[in-house]
């Protein structure tokens, strides 16, 4: 393999690494941690916890869900949910706030989910 081919392979590898999924497996465990306050998660919407790369939703009154904030298409960060839809501005993918299921492509896989419960006024990963 010549010098150009080696440099090309190295550049491709770095580009692929930059487009990783950034899913739940790439972050420290959130288990047992309060990730949001219930008052900050509106019904039919949610909140984006940027530093944890998690989106917390309340699809119906008193029901809380949490998902990875990394789009399953190319790993872009999704936005805070609105009207029961989690949107990715990079390529237009949309996900359901009650299941994380991809409802509009190009993403086809659901967002990684976390089990959560309400404890006091905090939403905790279980």
Task: Give me the pLDDT at residue 31, please.
Answer: 87
Residues whose CB is less than 8 angstroms from the CB of residue 70 and which lie 6 or more positions away in sequence, other chains included = 21, 22, 23, 53, 76, 77, 78, 111, 112
Q: What is the 3-state secondary structure (H, E, C) of 85-99?
A: EEECCCCCCEEECCC
For residue 114, what are the CA distances in angstroms to 4, 35, 108? 44, 11, 19
Task: Indicate the range of 21-35, 77-91, 100-114 predicted with least confidence.
Answer: 21-35
98, two tokens: 């009650």
Asked whether the beta carbons of 55 and 49 are under 8 A apart, the reply is: yes
Element housing 122 (H / E):
strand 122-125
60, two tokens: 């119906």
Q: What CATH number does the domain located at 21-125 have?
A: 2.102.10.10
Q: Where do the structural domains in the chain lie, given as residue ranges?
A: 21-125
Q: What is the mean pLDDT of the chain?
A: 82
Q: Is the pLDDT of residue 21 over 60?
A: no
61-93 confidence digits (pLDDT tens): 999 999 999 999 988 999 999 999 999 999 999
Considering the chain, what percentage of its residues have pLDDT values greater than 70? 78
Reported as a pLDDT band with limits 50, 70 and 90, residue 30 is confident
Considering the chain, what percentage of its residues have pLDDT values greater than 90? 68
In this structure, the strands spanning 102-104 and 94-96 are antiparallel
| This prediction's pTM | 0.75
Q: Is the pLDDT of residue 22 over 60?
A: no
Task: Give me the pLDDT at residue 29, please.
Answer: 77
Nearest-angstrom CA–CA distance, 93 and 74: 10
């Amino acid at each position: 393999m010549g010098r150009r081919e080696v440099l090309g392979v190295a550049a491709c590898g770095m580009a692929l690494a930059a487009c990783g999924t950034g899913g739940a497996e790439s972050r420290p465990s959130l288990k047992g941690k309060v990730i949001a306050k219930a008052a900050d998660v509106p019904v039919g919407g949610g909140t984006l916890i940027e530093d944890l790369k998690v989106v917390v939703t309340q699809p119906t009154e008193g029901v809380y869900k949490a998902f990875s904030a990394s789009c399953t298409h190319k790993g872009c960060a999704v936005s805070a949910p609105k009207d029961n839809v989690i949107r990715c501005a990079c390529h237009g993918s949309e996900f359901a706030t009650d299941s994380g299921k991809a409802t509009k492509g190009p993403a086809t896989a659901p967002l990684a989910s976390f089990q959560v419960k309400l404890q006091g006024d905090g939403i905790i990963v279980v």
